[in-house]
A and B are shown apart, each in its own frame.
Chain A
Amino acid sequence: MTTNTQTALCLHCGKPAADQLVCSGCGPVAPATAEADFFAVFALPRRLTIDLADLERRFYALSRELHPDLFHDRAPAEQAASLRMTALVNRGYKTLKDPVARGLYWLDLHGEALGRDNERVPPALAARVFEVQEQLDELRAARKQGAAESETKAMTAIRAELRGDLDACDQRLARNFEHPDGTDALAETKKILSELHYVRTLLRDVDKELGAAWNG
């Protein structure tokens, strides 16, 4: 377990907070992403690789201490604090358990954000996006005509490919997480996350369309 030795300034009153969760001056800090150190919340070292089973154990243990259900008969200040801290723990868990959210949060912590100077989508990826969107249009058009069997089949194949792309991205991300320091690694993480974002969006559109097919 590492302790976070940085001094955090409270977002609201601007004074140094004893730790990153609570400001003795004005109450718990309700931080935007970069201000709350989720690694500190779960008492984890600041590393991108995380043992998910261990994270879950920590999440459950914190919930058993802090959840509002345990405080409904306590003083209002304790109820309010329980609510805010549980919200923070829940947000932290959601962020850290998902590799993509964790990666984005990591970029945030390092002052890098996706969407900044990444307007240039790799040409191959852009081509892929257009191709899938075109096929989706064809599927919709065929459906209006009533017979969309071959288009549905083609889309199911695309879906399988996209799933494969997604897995490949995840693996690259995990490998990259092993060596997260250094500018190159950060840039690479950013690149993979950007790709992942496109693949996920495409897959969602495809799932939506195929879901409609399953249900008539």
Chain B
Amino acid sequence: MLDRFDKPFVEEILATVLRYGGDFAEVFVEDRYSTNIELKNGKVELAQTGRMFGIGIRGFLGDKAIYAYTNDLSKDNILAVAKRVGEALGEVKLKDFSIDLRKKELENKHFVLWKPEQVRKETKVGYMKRAYEAAKKYSPTIAQVVVRYWDYDQNVLIANTEGVFVTDNRVRTRLMINAVAVKDGQMESGFYGPGAGMGPEFLERIDVEQAGVRAARIAVRMVDAQPAPAGKMTVVISNEFGGVIFHEAVGHALEASSVARGMSVFAGKLGQQVAAECVSAVDDATIPNAWGSANVDDEGTPTQRIVLIENGILKGYMIDKLGSRRMGMPSTGSGRRQDYTFAPTSRMSNTFILPGDYHPEEIIASVEYGLYAKTMGGGSVNPATGEFNFAVNEGYLIENGKITKPVKGATLIGKGYEIIQKIEMVGNDVARGQGMCGSYSGSIPADVGQPTIKVREIIVGGRNA
């Protein structure tokens, strides 16, 4: 369906923008087919498939950017939108220009076995039911299990006046399980949502029963838990989704969208020691079939592995095209967006702390009293102040080097630039978990990750002072 956007037509769109204003123009065409299925009490209650198809047109004048999108794909309308973008930029910069689009064949690093549409919905439902059964059977206190399935097949065409003309295909599949345990009038829920940049074969590659059990375990443990303690204490954060702490506390503040205008607490600190020496972290969109990976970003720039922090020293930012103009630094292939209704901006892909030397047990054993955050929920941050918060969905007390009672309702808060200096031990058990990251350019798939880490002190927002 992207065929109608052939070179001459795309050139005409780009040229129309420049004819009315600006010094750069870009086109993003998206055709996406998605499936959503929801299972409650083991029965399919909701099944929806659908198609998004539209175009986003962007123009720059210096570091000013104008964006427009439409899904009325008649030629007249698209050219009218392109004209509006040029006019809003205001100034005609290029009197004589030629656009020479060069189609680039990408080397696909993310091999997909099955396109979502090639697999019958009944087959997908079969895996969902297996996850449901395993969660339900885990304990008689499990009162409800909701299993959701989501896949999509996204085809994009990206072109700009610098000659970029690429197409890319992104396929993603995710299974999300929410289990609810009820005991003595208390209700608690547990969540696990693995996903990948592959087709429905993902359901075969993971153990769906284990995934169900994992969600159920959290709900069951938490329904017996006491409220978490309140106040400042040592916190050990488990690997995998625990990496949400780096994502929130540091990652967002390393995106060009907050660095370029000096809004970030990390602006102007390249080459400086910003974290404890044991901390090294990367953002890597090139990992084959990872949830946040792609061959090119949503601006057509090849993705790369970006070293953000090395031995505590700030080494890099995540930069998109506009950020590149504002910062005078090259794009790192970090321009991402939810879909064509959002202008791209600098975003994380798969962001994680690299492994250190310690066994997780050694880390726990080193804590006299503190919190063990085994499963993290989401979080958020204000990049301008570095203040972050994130939820502990499954927590335990650590007493005398041992994990003891389950505790619930703990939120961790702090300031990102302080917390990363307080990381004292980094484990050797690095792993990644999947989430949806929300910011200026919408909600996008992103991996967070880390090995088990120990933070000297964080404020724990429990109820037992």
| B and A form one assembly | no
Interface residues of A (CB under 8 A from B): none
Interface residues of B (CB under 8 A from A): none
